Amino acid sequence: MQADASFEVIKRDHQGVPVVKIVFWGPTLAGKTTALTITKVLKSLEDPENVYKFLKLEDPTGRTLFFDQGIFGIGKTTAGLPILKYHLFTVPGQERHAGQRKVVLRGAHGLIVVVDSEKSRWEENKNSLIEINHLAGDKLASGALPYFIMLNKMDLPIESRISSIEVGKLLSESGTTANLRDAAVRIIEVSCLDARDDLKNLLSKGNRTEIVDNSGKLKKEFRPQSVNRVIKPVESLIREIIIQMMKQQQ
Ligand SMILES: Nc1nc2c(ncn2[C@@H]2O[C@H](COP(=O)(O)OP(=O)(O)O)[C@@H](O)[C@H]2O)c(=O)[nH]1
Ligand SMILES: [Mg+2]
């Protein structure tokens, strides 16, 4: 295996907690910042002690400048520490930010490639795939960088959006098919808009007592399906990364 195609070493913070990095990749306006924000809101409801940091760096028009970042944890050891911390980053999607994207991608353990299902965004999606293939194609091909493809905006009318099947065409047009081998099973169709609305509705419910436990945390069974889909790639990647981490420790 090539040196640059091996799994990133997982570092630990000053308290010895392993820290992993997951990056949302994709063209501008695809919904990366929205997906990260939904993750943050859900985590704040379900597991608030494990929300460490949330930062959005936007220009005055709301476009991401440099990156957005959220730091979260999972579980709690007897010492009161999380068993793992994960940093979620989004890249700035605008074409002129290629340099920043490269920096943000550095050291990633997992990748979520956000594809904008809006038909008119074909070229932007294609360019974004070409770029990630150029930067990380070897790692994606070898499995060293586990990934999911998040096909967003599935709420759009069917005639103005692409389907998962057409993502295959997008992959072959961008020359990424060979590297994104298992892509077909790694596509998750989502609507961040529906997820955001469902979260809002949930929170505006008059009687909150039935949806929260004794400590005021949202019970997992009340997680809306639309939100679950948005969170799924992060949760699945963390599981895959933990397996890699255990292999590194052997
Ligand atoms: N219709 C629709 N619009 C969405 C969805 N997700 C995000 N958007 C909108 O797309 C625009 C760009 O979203 P943003 O998260 O800032 O994209 P980013 O540039 O990838 O970070 C915003 O106006 C969002 O409200 C979705 O699932 N469906
Ligand atoms: Mg953004």
**Ligand 1: distance of its center to the CA of 32 in Å?**
7
Question: For residue 22, what are its two tokens?
Answer: 């997951």
Q: What percent of the chain has pLDDT over 70?
A: 96
74: exposed, middle or buried (Cβ count in 10 Å: 0-12, 13-18, 19+): middle
pLDDT at 4: 55
**Ligand 2: distance of its center to the CA of 57 in Å?**
8
Backbone angles phi, psi at 196, to 5 degrees: -65, -45
Question: For residue 240, what are its two tokens?
Answer: 């895959």
191 in contact with ligand 1, CB cutoff 6 A:
yes
Lowest mean pLDDT among 1-5, 12-16, 105-109, 116-120: 1-5
Ligand nearest, relative to CA of residue 58: 2
152 CA: nearest ligand 1 atom: 27
Closest CA to 180 of 190, 170, 192: 170
Q: In a 3-state reduction of DSSP, which class is residue 94? A: coil
pLDDT in tens, 200-240: 999 887 678 889 999 999 999 999 999 999 999 999 999 99
- H helices of the chain, in order, are 32-46, 98-105, 122-142, 164-173, 192-203, 225-249
Distance CA(70)–CA(80), nearest Å, equals 20
192 CA: nearest ligand 1 atom: 27
| Minimal-distance CA residue to ligand 1 atom 2 | 153
More confident residue, 207 or 81: 81
Q: Are the C-beta atoms of 90 and 32 separated by less than 8 Å?
A: yes
30 CA: nearest ligand 1 atom: 20
Domain covering 3-249, topology: Rossmann fold (3.40.50)
Question: pLDDT band at 250, cuts 50/70/90?
Answer: confident
Distance CA(60)–CA(51), nearest Å, equals 26
Domain ranges of the chain: 3-249
Lowest mean pLDDT among 58-72, 78-92, 190-204: 58-72
| Chain centroid, CA 18 distance in Å | 19
What average pLDDT does range 60-79 have in this prediction? 85
What average pLDDT does range 56-69 have in this prediction? 75
Q: In a 3-state reduction of DSSP, which class is residue 84? A: strand
Ligand nearest, relative to CA of residue 25: 1
Q: Are the C-beta atoms of 25 and 112 separated by less than 8 Å?
A: yes
Question: For residue 69, what are its two tokens?
Answer: 């970042």
pLDDT at 15: 94
2 pLDDT exceeds 70? no
pLDDT in tens, 100-129: 999 999 999 999 999 999 999 999 999 999
Q: What letter represents residue 109's amino acid?
A: H
CB-side exposure of 221: number of CA atoms within 13 Å?
4
pLDDT in tens, 148-172: 999 999 999 999 999 999 999 999 9
Q: What percent of the chain has pLDDT over 90?
A: 81
What length is written for the chain?
250
More confident residue, 23 or 96: 23
Query: Helices (H), strands (E): how many in the chain?
Result: 6, 8
Distance CA(186)–CA(147), nearest Å, equals 7
184 pLDDT exceeds 80? yes
The pTM for the full model equals: 0.94
192 in contact with ligand 1, CB cutoff 6 A:
yes
Q: Are the C-beta atoms of 132 and 24 separated by less than 8 Å?
A: no
